Chain A
Amino acid sequence: MSRKLVIDPVTRIEGHGKVTVILDDDNRVMDAKLHVVEFRGFEKFIQGHPYWEAPMLMQRICGICFVSHHLCGAKALDDIVGVGHASGMRILPAAEKIRRLGHYGQQLQSHTTAYFYLIVPEMLFGMDAPPEQRNVLGLVEANPGLVKRVVALRKWGQEVIKTVFGKRMHGISSVPGGVNKHLSIEERDRLLKGGDDLLSVDQVIEYALEGLELFYDFHEKHRKEVDSFAEVPALNLSLVDEEGNVDYYHGKMRIVDKNKSVIAEFDYHDYLEHFAEATEEWSYMKFPYLKALGREAGSVRVGPLGRVNVTRSYGENTPLAKAALERFHDYTDGKANDMTLHTNWARAIEILHSAELIKELLNDPALQEESLTLTPPESAWTGEGIGVVEAPRGTLLHHYRANREGNVTFANLVVATTQNNTVMNRTVRSVADKYLDGKAEITEGMMNAIEVGIRAYDPCLSCATHAMGQMPLVISVYDTDGRLIDERGR
């Protein structure tokens, strides 16, 4: 007789997930699965609407990485109106820099939230600590100074977003062919030098470094636990620049294996030629994989860990992040890193990297340029566009078609959480094997371990997880006849 464990969020809000673990008669894990809902609704809503409204509507999918959706949509529109792929054109450098600035601002803000609010409390108090302590409120009690700095860091990231997009959330900046606003000298100086209640960019870099130190300390003390937690194989995918290093806004898609050998590299417009999507009846979310390698070998990891695995080096323009990345690479002797909890290390490095990239951009006079949009001739219209960016959680793709009358006829999104579907399932399986195997009773530690494994990917069920620093979970154990034999919730 096999048994089924279900870990299900109590609250049914958008972006929820649940975990099912199947146990056999000896309580051995037979299978473990993560189920996540997807965003099909938006792909339908937008149809029939004017194409130029797409990036404004689609960004409402998410309250955290809305900038990525906005920019992905905008890049797809660049293609559609003829300032993209087909014409071999790019938007004006100043416009691209402004988009990048907003994008890096969001990465800083989003990573800061995930890292300091959710992951740091786990590192400081331990995975087994009671949930009441293992959250940002626990952190307020234990280290109020740190929390103050984190709040300031997040606020600064939000301020970058607000400066570019006009609002802290769901603002508007990108239009087909460019952006609608530059940065004034005052706006730039406020971010560079700080002011009433706002950090300067140098303080931001300092705090980002401090965040990284937290990981180093934690790693020092818990090396074995961290390194052995869910070490799962996967290829690594990221957008890369000409040198083959991460480019968060634009570039080719590169996929590397464990030895960092390039398995595939292609223009993201050819994504569908290279990737297929498997479906399972137990999950709404698809499982993309490289066609050439098949589902088992061809699944990729995206997000912070995927990106730092693909990247060989950051540029000289971000010296602190560059050094941090070298240390990261040295740890695995230059091989790709499969240790799930090292995603948090990668995330901390990327906070620093974003901060340094932002500093460089703020010092670029192009941000003050007046000419920001290209208006292509009618004849340049292509009616189809694909936009890809590296969102905080990984590679994000928007694909739209519009007819000549201007209405969207088709929209498809491939979000980072979908790309990570297989590797997240492998992580859940690995954690289940280690923590649940042979045990009949569900303990708090087991629940935490599953949660920590999922959280490393900061998946789009974060709407649920960001609530109070813990996923609302219920674990139910069923026998094969569907009878409830154990249940635990919080």
Chain B
Amino acid sequence: MNIRITLDGKEIETTAGTLLVDVAADNGVYIPTLCYQRGKPCLGTCRACSVRVNGNVMASCTVPVAEGMTVEVDAADLNDMRKALVELLFAEGNHNCPSCEKSGRCELQAVGYEVGMLVSRFPYRFPPRTREHVAKYIWLERDRCIFCQRCVEFVRDHETGRKIFTIDDRGTHASIEIDVALADRMPPEQVREAAELCPVGCIIAKGVGYDKPIGQRKFEVKSIRERTLERSRK
């Protein structure tokens, strides 16, 4: 059903029930996301896509559009809030981009650039997190996990459909875990997909990395904003 909503003061026509974050992209308005991927079920974990809907702040990946909605994306307070959310993700883990192999391909870093983050306003937590390197093909560099849950939901054992990754414990004690037996039977293609799926450099394929030279890495060739808008239907 065709409906009308107002997006940043502009009236637009769209289809009821479509996710707001996609509607925005289809209309040339970029909203940063870290857990959400178009075409996949919404996870709603990172909140980086927060906007104002009819006066209330909501994560736009969780909102199906409805007739008459008024949506604000580009407002000073909202821009700053999204930036703060990204800063929190940096402050919460241990990120050392210069030597990280995900650099240039990392969605957190790319979104950091998009929201204009230079430094975190929050004190860094420097959490002591152990690494998990027992699996044959996958290394978990937990320092960089942002608990988006992409891997938890979308990486499954091909045979049994069981989850390979899980998040253990809660809050500051949360930790990404891997089922080593299942992980060790992942075919190479699935290992690559899992590494690609992880928005940061937490799930990494062992023994590779830095294969793309500086200047030719994913988000250096095309920014995350361009990629998001390009994927839109228009």
- A interface residue numbers (CB < 8 A to B): 48-50, 52-53, 56-57, 60, 81, 165-167, 170-173, 175-176, 180-181, 405-407
Contacts and interface: CB of A to CB of B under 8 A. Distances in A.
B206 interface: yes
Contact of A172 (B204, B206, B207, B214): B214
A481 to B, nearest CB: 43
Contacts of B209: 50, 52-53, 175
Contact of A405 (B96, B98, B99, B133): B133
B139 interface: yes
B212 interface: yes
Please name the 4 residue pairs, one residue from A and one from B, whose CB atoms are nearest each other, closest first. Answer: A166-B214, A181-B213, A57-B99, A56-B99
A166 B99 contact: no
A48 B204 CA distance: 15
B215 interface: yes
B98 A56 contact: yes
27 contacts: A48-B131, A49-B131, A50-B204, A50-B209, A52-B208, A52-B209, A53-B100, A53-B101, A56-B98, A56-B99, A56-B101, A57-B99, A60-B99, A81-B207, A165-B214, A166-B214, A166-B215, A167-B214, A170-B98, A171-B214, A172-B214, A175-B210, A180-B211, A180-B212, A181-B216, A405-B134, A406-B133
Nearest to B213: A181
Nearest to B136: A405
A401 to B, nearest CB: 14
Contacts of A52: 101, 207-210
Interface of B: 96, 98-101, 131, 133-134, 139, 141, 204, 206-216
B207 A53 contact: no
Contact of A56 (B207, B210, B213): B210
Given A50-B206, A56-B98, A172 B213 contact: yes
A72 to B, nearest CB: 15
Chain A binding surface, main DSSP class: loop
Contacts, number: 57
A50 B133 contact: yes
Contacts of B133: 50, 405-407
B22 to A, nearest CB: 35
A406 B209 CA distance: 13
B204 to A, nearest CB: 7
Contacts of B208: 52
Nearest to A403: B133
A214 B91 CA distance: 52
A405 B134 CA distance: 6
Contacts of B215: 166
Contacts of A60: 98-99
A53 B208 CA distance: 10
Given A56-B98, A406-B139, 6 more contacts: A48-B131, A52-B101, A53-B99, A173-B213, A175-B209, A405-B134
A456 B134 CA distance: 49
Contact of B139 (A50, A57, A176): A50
Given A50-B204, A52-B207, A166 B213 contact: yes
A460 B215 CA distance: 30
A378 to B, nearest CB: 10
Nearest to B206: A406
B211 to A, nearest CB: 6
Contacts of B134: 405
A407 B99 contact: no
Nearest to B139: A50
Nearest to B96: A57
B214 A407 contact: no
B174 to A, nearest CB: 20
Contacts of A50: 101, 133, 139, 141, 204, 206, 209
A181 B212 CA distance: 8
A406 B141 CA distance: 12
Contacts of A181: 213, 216
Contacts of A407: 131, 133
Among A50, A56, A60, A181: residue with most chain B CB under 10 A: A50
A368 to B, nearest CB: 15
Contacts of A406: 133, 139, 206-207
Contacts of B206: 50, 406
A189 B226 CA distance: 32
Contacts of A176: 207
B98 A180 contact: no
Contacts of A180: 210-213
Among A171, A172, A173: residue with most chain B CB under 10 A: A172
B134 to A, nearest CB: 6
Contacts of B139: 50, 406
A455 to B, nearest CB: 29
B141 to A, nearest CB: 7
A53 B100 CA distance: 7
Contacts of A170: 98
